[in-house]
Chains A and B, each alone.
Chain A
Amino acid sequence: MKRATQATETPQVGRSVPRLESWLKVTGRAEYVHNLRLPGMLYGKIFRSSVAHGRIKRIDVSAARALAGVHSVVTAAEVKTLVPEPYYGPAFHDQPVLAVDKVRYVGEPVAVVLASDPHVAEEAVHLISAEYEELPAVYDEVEAMTSKAIVHETLKPAGTFPDLKHLKGRSNTNVALDFRLRRGDAAKAMKGAERVFEHRFRTQQVMHTPLEPLVSVAESTDSSLTIHTASQSPSFVRIEIARLLGWPENRVRVRVPFLGGGFGAKLYIKLEALVAVLSLLVHRPVKVSLTMEEQFFTITKHASTFRIKSGVTRDGRIVARDCEVWWNGGAYADIGPRVTQKSGFTAPGPYDIQDVSIDSYALYTNLPPAGALRGFGIPQLVWAYESHTDMIARELGIDPVEFRRKNLLREGRPQATGTRMKDAALEKVLERTAALLEWEKPFDHGSGTVRRGRGLAIGFKACIANTTSLAAVSVNADGSCTVYTSCVDMGQGSDTAMAQIAAEVLRMPTESVTVVHSDTDVTPFDMATLGSRSLFHSGNAVKLAAEDAVRKLNELRAELKLAADTPIADVFRKKYGMRAGSVMGGGNFIPPYTPPDENGQTENATPFWMVGATGVELEVDTETGRVRITRLINVADVGTPINPRIVETQLSGGAIMQLGFTLFEKMLFDAEGQLRNASLAEYKIPGLLDLPAEIVNEAVVAEQRSGPFGAKGVGETATFGVSPAVANAIHDAIGVRLTELPLNPEAVFQAMHK
């Protein structure tokens, strides 16, 4: 191991440093909340609703309470003794800690059994019974617009957001948010267009399926609470739990070790409010670990319907686009309204269109809640607009790549919000994808029962705004460095990237830097680890903090009249006469942002753009409809990679995950809203045998000038184009267009024989 005091001139950024926690992970010793047991800890097991929508008439917990070994059984009645208004959520305060009066989906938590032995708690859950007065339910997002079945009597937007204020107290509606964008006059432009195309696309409800299921532990005294949780958003958890309890934030401590995957499942409040309340009620530590099965009843990805209409000139110039998107948010809003809005404004795609209209609706339905899943709604949108784009090109007899070239948003041109594109390598990403596909060369389309096709798709995303990250960097007396950030390493490699950024500024080897895991008593505020924002936001904060530390070290050197290159350890020794002291640098990063006006227009919608394209070559078995991906090409603008190797694994991992959502993953519900495949035996995710024969990943040469050392986020970028690229390639192979995900063999076969 290199000595910590050794300075280095070797660039630390751009190095493929193996993850700092590699040893811990390959030896099974990495810390997950899953491992944590505390003295006197009780395990909570959840009793869940068996109806999709109903008024709770009676909950009988007497037999469960009577079972030997059961500590207690808790329902909303007990929760309310501690928290009179037990509703939480990031955008709406609509989700109860345990169902109050009503249940809104099958699987909603209604009661919890606590016991020292989880088997006993589980056994007791089966002794609980509940009676419901069933209410009409609604499952489809478009039907929810006009349905008589109303999921929430009144809307309860969180008071903190000015742009949600108008929704407060609205009743008799399932529309949680109606986002509207108008640029120019799309209706008028559409009338004047030579050709008009209109299509409708759908996506299915799927689940994140992190292999570490959701898990939280709370320990408490009467005046303090510590939550150990597998969360992507420790700072939010602290604020929201403090709000629920009416406590000051500094009495709530939230600790997060490594996560066994997140993908958006572990954001905001999941089990944290429940374990906090339980622990305070029973004065014991409480752990709730979900099973894989229970995750399906906790958080999912929005199903969606997208009606997209374009006016086009005969020679292939898109002059108007009209988008209407319905997001199936399930029974609780979670972050759905933000998906609706913050992703909704990119619904027309990365094209230069003069007149645009967007309506994007967040809907409540009686299904498990939907939130963010690796792309924050973008993959649903790209699925529609890139299928639509291909359909128009083929209708007009224009090459699909040429059609895209003709309409692509160029650097400096305004997007639908009016914000001008900046550091968004759309052209480069499109051209590299076409080049890697050898698009100009003839392609063998196969024969007989095996037909071959190729397709591509390009998407973009605006990083969510307005968000903040803080960081601190401590340079220790021996010259080693500690980074304090509430950015959570859920597998994306942020610890390593943050260490590289600090090391680059401090001119020390990355291996001399450690990153303290999120602990709200120790690490400063960070909005959340989501939406590919952390490398940019937390990275910039760490860079600022490291620069601050360097400045302070240089001040020390000047004060002590030491040469500018005096090793850090010598500076401290000179200052304190011994090995002592440290220098603390702080960084606070808030990128500029301008909120949109009532037409969704703003000059500054986002701190940065992500651009991703996918190229696909595939084979279709015409007798069965089975699709085999032979080549998957992922091209992205990630700015200048901090760690090229980790960037590559993010690109290919994201694309393979999206391939599962494209080809087979689907939550299947029956007519009563019962999920029929809540297990990995029946909800299949991609395995080694599902891998494409060849995968090519490329980060184009690019720079995000506002990013740390030119970098920006990469976690979601490779997901954008996968679904439409596959559908476009299927069309290329067999001339059949699919408009609904997943593109499973039966769907392909049925479409061929329609």
Chain B
Amino acid sequence: MRRAIQFRLNGASVEAQVAPHETLVEVLREEFGLFGARESCGQGLCGCCTVLVDGTAVSGCLYLAALAEGAHVQTVEGAAELDAVQEAFIERAAFQCGFCTPGFVLMTRQLLDEHPDPSEDEIRHYLSGNLCRCAAYPEIIEAVKLAARKRRQS
């Protein structure tokens, strides 16, 4: 029942043999050795499995891989160098165990694409679907604000 699907992954054209029931996060892990998107709650509530499909953030654990056919899939591993968001997360100590961090980084990029100068309320709402059990939330809010400043300056 496996079939070949083609898509772009972090800018490169790729092909994968996927079964209809396999999720995007499984295929990224098993076929491409990408571990930045990781399944945690398995219900799309924690954001650890966040990936971008055609530029839009989705929960990779609830997204059938077969539906990525022809799409551009981007993961946290996509960029070669640290961007303003990642730098800001480091500078503001916005993570502890790091398991949720790739999801927060990707969602923050989306937030700043939509709202270059987000209010604290916008930050809290936009990222409310990402959980951090270490509760680095105050530092995450600070990091998002710093990333916004860095982006505006560059």
A684, closest chain B residue (CB): B45
A491 contacts B97, C-beta separation under 8 Å: yes
Set A27, A28, A260, A657: member contacting B97, Cβ < 8 A: A260
Residues of A469-524 contacting chain B, CB below 8 A: 490-493
Q: Tell me which residues across on chain A come within 8 A of B58, comparing CB atoms.
A: none
Is there a chain A Cβ closer than 8 Å to B7's Cβ?
no
A-B contacts, 22 listed (Cβ < 8 Å): A22-B90, A26-B76, A26-B90, A26-B98, A27-B36, A27-B76, A28-B76, A32-B99, A208-B133, A212-B38, A258-B98, A260-B98, A261-B134, A491-B96, A491-B98, A650-B96, A652-B139, A679-B43, A680-B43, A687-B131, A691-B138, A695-B138
Partner of A26, one of B38, B89, B131: B89
**Interface of chain A, helix or strand or loop or mixed?**
loop
Tell me which residues from 81 to 131 in chain B have a Cβ below 8 Å from any Cβ of chain A.
82, 86, 89-91, 93, 95-102, 105, 123-125, 127-131
With known contacts A291-B42, A491-B97, A28–B91 Cβ distance under 8 A: no
Asked whether any CB of chain B lies closer than 8 Å to the CB of A564, the reply is no
Q: Once the chains are docked, how many angstroms separate the CA of A596 from the CA of B145?
A: 52
Most buried by A among B102, B135, B136: B135
Q: In the assembly, what is the distance between CA of A520 and CA of B151, in Å?
A: 45
6 interchain residue pairs of minimum CB distance: A28-B36, A491-B97, A260-B99, A25-B98, A491-B96, A656-B135
Q: Is A551 an interface residue (CB 8 A)?
A: no
What string of 1s and 0s marks CB contacts (under 8 Å) between A326-369 and chain B? Answer: 00000000000000000000000000000000000000000000
- Contact between A209 and B42 (Cβ–Cβ < 8 Å)? no
A212-229 CB contact bits vs B (8 Å, 1 = yes)?
110000000000000000
- In the complex, A30 Cα to B48 Cα: how many Å? 14
| Structural contact, A680 and B41, CB atoms closer than 8 A | yes
Q: Indicate whether A418 reaches chain B with its CB closer than 8 angstroms.
A: no
- Nearest opposing residue in chain B for A260, CB measure: B99
Contact with B along A291-315 (1 / 0, CB 8 A): 1110000000000000000000000
Decide: A27 and B96 in contact? CB cutoff 8 A: no
The chain B residue with its CB closest to the CB of A210 is B133
Is the Cβ of B98 less than 8 Å from the Cβ of A21? Answer: yes
Cβ contacts under 8 Å, B93 to chain A: 16, 18-19, 645-646, 648-649
Which chain B residues border A258 with CB–CB below 8 Å?
97-98
A680 to B102, CA, bound (A): 19
Which of A16, A491, A688 is in CB contact (< 8 Å) with B141? A688
Question: A21-B98, A688-B137, A689-B125 in contact; A211/B35 too (CB < 8 A)?
Answer: no
Assuming A28-B35, A34-B38, is B124 touching A688 (CB within 8 A)?
yes
A496 to B15, CA, bound (A): 40
Q: Tell me the bound Cα distance from A119 to B27 in angstroms.
A: 13
CA distance A23 to B138 in the complex (A): 20
Name B136's contact: one of A37, A291, A649 (CB within 8 Å): A649
Q: Which residues of B contact A695 (CB under 8 A)?
A: 138
- Extra contacts, 6 of them, besides A25-B95, A649-B96 (Cβ < 8 A), are A208-B133, A211-B133, A263-B133, A291-B42, A493-B96, A649-B136
Interface string of A221-263 (1 = CB under 8 A from B): 0000000000000000000000000000000000000111111
Smallest CB gap from B36: residue in A: A28
**A24 touching B131 by the CB < 8 A rule?**
no
In residues 1-60 of chain B, which contact A (Cβ within 8 Å)? 21, 29-30, 34-38, 40-43, 45-46, 48
* Cβ contacts under 8 Å, A26 to chain B: 76, 82, 86, 89-90, 95, 98, 101-102, 105
- Chain B residues near A261 (CB-CB < 8 A): 96-97, 99, 133-134
In Å, the complex CA distance between A23 and B125 comes to 27
Q: Let me know if A24 and B97 touch, CB within 8 A.
A: no
Given known A25-B95, A491-B134, contact A211–B48 (CB-CB < 8 A): yes
Complex Cα–Cα for A255 and B128 (A): 35
Cα of A22 to Cα of B96 in the assembled complex, Å: 9
Expressed in whole angstroms, the Cα–Cα distance for A307 and B96 within the complex equals 37
A14-48 contact mask (Cβ, 8 Å, vs B): 1 or 0: 00101101111111111010110100000000000
A1 sits at the interface (CB 8 A): no
> Are B86's CB and A27's CB within 8 A?
yes
Residue of B nearest to A208 (CB): B133
Asked whether, in the complex, the Cβ of A686 is within 8 Å of the Cβ of B135, the reply is yes
Contacts of A671 in B (CB 8 A): none
Size category of the A interface is 35 or more
B44 shortest CB reach to chain A, Å: 9
A680 B89 Cβ-Cβ under 8 A:
no
Say how far B48's CB is from chain A's closest CB, in angstroms: 6
Q: Which partner residue on chain B sits nearest A682 by CB separation?
A: B43
Q: What per-residue 1/0 map shows which CB atoms of A654-686 lie under 8 Å from chain B?
A: 101100000000000000000000011100011
Q: Is A653 an interface position by the 8 A CB rule?
A: yes
**A689-B128 in contact given A261-B133, A261-B134 (Cβ < 8 Å):** yes
- Closest B residue by C-beta to A16: B93
**Contact with B46, one of A291, A650, A680 (Cβ below 8 angstroms):** A680
Contact between B124 and A211, CB atoms less than 8 A apart: no
B45 touches A680 (CB 8 A): yes
CB pair A30 B43 closer than 8 Å: no
When chains A and B are docked, how far (Å) is the Cα of A420 from the Cα of B127?
47
Structural contact, B131 and A680, CB atoms closer than 8 A: yes
* Distance of A438 Cα from B49 Cα, bound (Å): 44
* Residue among A19, A22, A30, A686 with most chain B CB within 10 A: A22
A653/B131 in contact, CB under 8 A:
no
0/1 string, A684-706, CB within 8 A of B gives 1: 01111101000100000000000
- Residue among B37, B42, B76, B130 with most chain A CB within 10 A: B42
In the complex, how many angstroms separate the beta carbon of A107 from the nearest chain B beta carbon? Answer: 17
A689 to chain B, nearest CB (A): 5
- Does B77 lie within 8 Å of A292, measured CB to CB? no
Contact (Cβ within 8 A) A27 B124: no
| C-alpha gap A189/B84 in the complex (Å) | 64
- Give min CB distance, A651 to chain B, whole Å: 10
Cβ contacts under 8 Å, A691 to chain B: 124, 137-138
Complex CA–CA separation, A491 to B136 (angstroms): 11
B78 → chain A closest CB, angstroms: 10
Given contacts A26-B82, A27-B76, A686-B135, contact A212 B40 (CB under 8 A): yes
Q: Are B75 and A28 in contact, with the CB atoms below 8 A?
A: yes
Q: Once bound together, how far apart are the Cα atoms of A645 and B95, in whole Å? A: 12
Assuming the A-B contacts A27-B77, A263-B133, A688-B141, are A210 and B128 also in contact, with contact meaning beta carbons closer than 8 angstroms in the complex?
Answer: no
- Nearest A residue (CB) for B140: A688
B133 touches A649 (CB 8 A): no
Known pairs A28-B75, A211-B97, A681-B43; A652 contacts B135 (CB<8 A): yes
B101 & A685 in contact (Cβ 8 Å cutoff): no
User: B139 touching A649 by the CB < 8 A rule?
Assistant: yes
A657 proximity list for chain B (CB < 8 A): 133-135
Q: B90, A681: Cβ atoms under 8 Å?
A: no
Q: Are A24 and B98 in contact (CB under 8 A)?
A: yes
Residues of B within 8 A of A291 (CB): 42
Within 8 A of B (CB), among A599-658: 645-646, 648-650, 652-654, 656-657
CB-defined interface of A254-280 with B at 8 Å, one 1/0 digit per residue? 000011111100000000000000000
Alpha-carbon separation in the docked complex, A704 to B46 (Å): 38
Is the pair B91, A18 in contact by a Cβ cutoff of 8 Å?
yes
**What is the minimal beta-carbon distance from A260 to any residue of chain B, in angstroms?**
3
List B contacts of A119 (CB < 8 A).
21
Per the bound structure, the CA–CA distance linking A210 and B100 in Å amounts to 10
In the complex, the answer to whether B133 meets A685 with C-beta atoms within 8 Å is yes
Chain A proximity of B108: nearest CB distance (Å): 11
Chain A's nearest CB lies how many Å from the CB of B39? 8
Report the separation of the CA atoms of residues A203 and B89 in the bound assembly, to the nearest whole angstrom. 36
Contact partner, A653, options B89, B91, B135, Cβ 8 Å? B135
Task: Give the distance in Å from the alpha carbon of A716 to the alpha carbon of B44 in the complex.
Answer: 29
CB of B101 within 8 A of CB of A25, answer: yes
User: In the complex, what distance in Å separates the CA atom of A686 from the CA atom of B140?
Assistant: 14
Residues on A with C-beta less than 8 A from B97 are 210-212, 258-262, 490-491
Which of chain B's residues have a CB closer than 8 A to the CB of A260? 38, 40, 97-99
Contact residue among A211, A492, A681 (Cβ-Cβ distance under 8 Å from B40): A211
Residues of A within 8 A of B138 (CB): 652, 691, 695
